[in-house]
Structure 1
Amino acid sequence: MQRRVFTSMVRVNFAVALLFIVSALTPNSAYSTPITRVVMSVDDYMPYVSSAAPKADYPGYMVEIAQHIFAKRNITLTLESVPYVRAIQLGQEGRIDGMFAVNYPDPVFQAPYIAHGIDRVCLFGNEKQDTLTRLSTRTIGMTNGYNIDDIPELKQVAEELARSTTVIWLSGDNPVVRFLDMLRDRRIDGFIERQYVVDWYSKNLPKRYAYPKLCSGDKPSYILFFTASPNSAALAEIIHSGVKDLRASGQLGAILTKYAIEDWQQTDIQH
């Protein structure tokens, strides 16, 4: 009789231990505290993300990826239109969970950093202009929060701009469109921005005004979550596994086709 009681206790203890392990390893499972809502910032960096999301027909392919993944897990995705630098601040304060189209992750974001697209940063000028000549004397636009110091291909540009007193920093709504307008009106000589973003907004103009003069190689772009978010590790895993599922089902291909983008898995990205 005592042997039976002991055996039953061992079985119960083993079951409890197994339940604990499963709950610890399974994000958003029935055994852990369910994630019911995620707050992420959006701004104007199409085709990655739009500040008009989720109401826009084209909210950005990264936004659509997140919408599909979270909807399948009954997680409400709340999107807040916030400029890049302000979003970083809110994330560090734990007031938002994540961001789209991050191209240079740092320790404020939850690792691992797994690519969800590609990016390329360029110095743009008008069609005939040699923007690289005497760059420190030119008027160059940059988005607030941008840092090109660690991009080898743009090292010369970074060094010359460090000596310049004519760098115009923009933040707020749609800085790329504003830079395009300023270049058209010759209020700036050039600007630094992501090539695929400039290409997206340029296609709606009557003519092209901005031409890449010098670019980095293809770099990864990410959907990332702040370490200050209590669910950051689980959310990162949900997105990572969700992208795999979307790719396997063909849904990812359909989303990317809508935005005329190739699957980044087929691209040689320089991490």
Structure 2
Amino acid sequence: MHRVWLVLLFLSCPVVSLADTVTLRADEWYPNNGDPDAERPGYMIELAQTIWGTAGYDVDYRLMPWERALEATRQGNIDCVVGVTPDEAPDFIFPEEAQGSSEPHMYTEKSSVWNYQGIESLKDVRLGVIGGYAYDMGELDAYIAEQQEMTSGRIQIMKGNSALEQNIRKLLSGRIDVLAESPSVMATKMAEMGLNDQIRDAGSIGNPVLIYIGCTPTTARSLELTRLLSAGIREMRDNGRLESLLLQYNLTDWYRAPPESGNSQTEGSPPETAE
């Protein structure tokens, strides 16, 4: 009799299958995404948890080095990646609505008088970047790729979950002269490391770039996930919940006209199916 009751109890409990779990990965890029176990894991993570959770999905979010996260999503080993642009992954499925924006700046140690004045101003400095990142979807990204091929030493690439922190330490130790990063991310990391008075902003790289939660092109479910994100963002913007969430991270709404998506797939496009 006890066994019967145990079986009935098990059957009556809600069970979330693997099919109802969305796997979400990225390297740390707070306040967009941070420690999975923190009370505030990042506003993009909270967006995903709120929107997909309302639709009955669990979100399995963990940190992973950026290039690995992109490749795992591309292969269909994970569902989606956080903070990606269509330029970085044109084959991914993207929501119509962005989940944020990024306007990278250049940073130097405090005593430097160098300022960013276009690509020419980079030719006498060592620039620290993070592997796999797209910074401006334009001439800076082209310069980084060109210098990598030339192995000139002008571009130094850091990889891993703590790539930004390592670049900051390289900057302060004189192993690089300049690093590129989004102001909100840089401000958060400098405060965390207690370095607000040791690093200066040396100028904006260019116009803001919209960033997304991008999903694997290998499964049809990505269309549903990205549609849910777009609808959820619109609803949260309309009812004020988006503004309230962003205020918790000292951020404001990034809303602007959507950029041209190039050859990337959006939620209305059929996904490519892995053979």
Q: TM-score, normalised by structure 1?
A: 0.76
Per-residue CA shift, 1:127-167, capped at 9, x if unaligned?
Answer: 33315576334222110112457325x47965984653242
Label 1:178 to 1:119 Cα distance change in 2 as closer, same or farther (>3 A). Answer: same
Label 1:167 to 1:260 Cα distance change in 2 as closer, same or farther (>3 A). Answer: same
Gaps of 5+ in 2: 1-17, 261-275
Alpha-carbon distance in 1 for matches of 2:205, 2:238: 33
Letter in 2 for 1:246: M
Q: Residue 36 in 1 paired to residue 20 in 2?
A: yes
Quote the RMSD (CA, aligned, Å): 2.7
Q: Residue 74 in 1 paired to residue 74 in 2?
A: no
8 Å contact kept, 2:83–2:212: yes
Letter in 1 for 2:184: Y
Alpha-carbon distance in 2 for matches of 1:82, 1:155: 22
Report the 3-state secondary structure (helix = DSSP H, G, I; strand = E; otherwise coil) of the residue aligned with 1:221. strand
Letter in 1 for 2:109: N
8 Å contact kept, 2:95–2:230: no
Label 1:258 to 1:111 Cα distance change in 2 as closer, same or farther (>3 A). Answer: closer
8 Å contact kept, 1:124–1:211: yes
Q: Residue 136 in 1 paired to residue 136 in 2?
A: no
Cα deviation for residue 85 of structure 1 reads: 0.5
Aligned length: 234
8 Å contact kept, 1:118–1:269: no
8 Å contact kept, 2:127–2:155: yes
Report the 3-state secondary structure (helix = DSSP H, G, I; strand = E; otherwise coil) of the residue aligned with 1:203. helix
Alpha-carbon distance in 2 for matches of 1:211, 1:130: 10
Percent of counterpart pairs with the same letter? 22
Per-residue CA shift, 1:36-66, capped at 9, x if unaligned?
Answer: 111110321011111x21x112211000001
Aligned equivalent of 2:102, options 110, 115, 119: 119
1:174-253 matches, within 5 Å, as 174-204=162-192, 205-206=194-195, 207-253=197-243
8 Å contact kept, 1:125–1:190: yes
Gaps of 5+ in 1: 1-33
Label 1:241 to 1:112 Cα distance change in 2 as closer, same or farther (>3 A). Answer: closer
Moved over 6 A (4+): none
Moved more, 166-175 or 98-107: 98-107
8 Å contact kept, 2:23–2:78: yes
Alignment match, 2:33? 49
Alignment match, 2:161? 173
Alignment match, 2:264? none
Cα deviation for residue 270 of structure 1 reads: 5.8
Label 1:224 to 1:111 Cα distance change in 2 as closer, same or farther (>3 A). Answer: closer
Alignment match, 2:138? 151
Label 1:58 to 1:136 Cα distance change in 2 as closer, same or farther (>3 A). Answer: same
Q: TM-score, normalised by structure 2?
A: 0.75
Label 1:124 to 1:73 Cα distance change in 2 as closer, same or farther (>3 A). Answer: same
Q: Which has the higher contact order (CA 8 A, sep 6+)?
A: 2
1:252-271 matches, within 5 Å, as 252-265=242-255, 267=256
Alpha-carbon distance in 1 for matches of 2:109, 2:129: 16
8 Å contact kept, 2:75–2:216: no
Alpha-carbon distance in 2 for matches of 1:227, 1:156: 25
Alpha-carbon distance in 1 for matches of 2:98, 2:206: 17
